[in-house]
Amino acid sequence: MVELYTGELLFPTHDNYEHLAMMEKVLGPLPTWMARHCHGSAREYFDHYHLNFPKLASHRSERAVRKLPDLHVFPMQDLIPNHYRKFRHFVMDVLEYDPDLRPRARDLLKHGFFAEDYQASQ
């Protein structure tokens, strides 16, 4: 939905390692428990339960990650204006790392964002 709103991909990559690095850049560090529970080839991306970026990254990947906004420094309200604050809250709920904390789809359908009447004049 952010991509529809901004016209830009939030995480413009198809590379798994780069995607994880982009998520960390925008949303903050992945929870260490997620790194502990990864399997197979995904383990090579982590060092002591932290993403090991940019150790395995190309220069192109490093540049792509570096140019993304850090939502802790560049808040979501700078990306999505205040009059769309319910949308902003919706997006942050959807982007929650922890599946136990992230609302389920059926709960998201009840989110205040969907009850809002957005006018083109806003």
Q: What local confidence, expressed as pLDDT, does residue 100 receive?
A: 94
Q: How many distinct structural domains can be found in the chain?
A: 1
Place of tokens 């990864």: 38
Listed residue (18, 46, 16, 42) closest to 31, CA to CA: 46
What's the pLDDT at 105? 93
- The CA distance from 31 to 19, in Å, is 15
Which residue numbers in the chain have pLDDT < 50?
121-122
What confidence score (pLDDT) does residue 78 get?
Answer: 67
Per-residue pLDDT reduced to its tens digit, 71-80 = 655 566 666 7
122 lies in some domain: no
Residue 34 lies in a domain: yes
* 73: CATH: 1.10.510.10
Inside any domain, residue 121: no
State residue 28's pLDDT score: 87
Question: 120 lies in a domain?
Answer: no
The span from the CA of 50 to the CA of 17, in Å, is 12
Residue 86 CA from chain centroid, whole number: 17
pTM above 0.85, yes or no: no
What's the domain range around 65?
2-115
Question: Around 44, how many Cα atoms within 13 Å sit in the side-chain half-sphere?
Answer: 8
Question: What DSSP designation does 47 have?
Answer: E
pLDDT for res 66: 86
* Residue 94: inside a domain: yes
Residue at 41 is within a domain: yes
- The pLDDT value recorded for residue 102 is 95
